[in-house]
Amino acid sequence: MPTILITTDYLNPGDEVDAYLTGLGFITRHDAMRGMRTAEQLVTALDGVTGALVANEPLTAEVLGQASQLRAVVRTGVGYDSVDVAAASRHGISVSNLPGINANAVAEYTIGLLLVQARDLAGTAAGVAAGRWPRRDGFELRGKTLGIIGRGAVAQRVRPLAEAFGLNVPEGLPLEELLRVSDFVSIHTALTDRTWHLIDAEALATMKPTAHLINTARGGIVDENALADAVLTGRIAGAALDVTETEPLPSGSVLRGVDGITVFSHMAGQTAEARRAAGIEGAHELVAALAGHPAHAVGGPP
């Protein structure tokens, strides 16, 4: 029977997704992604696999070229920049994502990061843990301006939540003007060749010195060296990042130890509700893709 590889770390043998797939006659192989894997490890994991429900593994042309039985890949999330879609298409492999599957979770989390920055919640908690009793003035969200970069499902969910807090959320502004007028800039766009280091030194220099950057999208959209320098020199006030260019965050990252920059562990979409939806919808999409009828294909056989 066809074998399905499952690498998403919150999907486990015997769970709802596993029961659904095995009930249809598939053999499941769980190999949870925790940390990065080498190309050789990925090739081994994909050996004999027909379909895969995957996390953020780098499915490069090299890896896909050696996955001789693989016919469909489904990302249990929205971003699929870790998959070489063009290479997959050349090898007859369908690639799907799950657009909007965790939009509500990420939108709520984004508002949480605004509050973290506005009230210095992370710094205050760290101070108390270290034996101090810091009581700094923060500022309220009401009346401030939130610039949203992106127009997808998460961006659309963030807007009404932000407006409920009394934030102004301008629409249709060119990027330079959006950066110039915003008190917070929140990134909700895909990582592509066009958006790689979209927020670079020049973009950061356009922002208010009191502004904060929020990123729950992809780490590569922000030039981390430029960001660290901008916060250290006071060109912007700070940043809250749920994603980084390399994950987990390396010990030598320039982001470490910068007062005003808070880094979290890529958890914006990690709610029980979003995980369950992603697992079930991902399994349904994989079954459909293997039957030749994917609903959310981003690439496939030519």
Q: Is 159 a catalytic residue?
A: no
For the record, the structure tokens of 123 come out as: 């710094």
Q: Which of 37, 247, 276, 284 is catalytic?
A: 247
**Residue 29 designated active-site:** no
The residues, any chain, with a CB within 8 Å of residue 36's CB and separated by 6 or more, are: 58, 247
Q: What is the largest CA-CA distance in the chain?
A: 62
- Active-site pick, 188, 266, 275, 296: 266
Q: What is d(CA 197, CA 226) in angstroms, rounded to the nearest whole number?
A: 10
Q: Which of 71, 75, 212, 218 is catalytic?
A: 218
194 as an active site residue: the answer is no
Rounded CA-CA distance 210/235 in Å is 8
Active site residues: 218, 247, 266
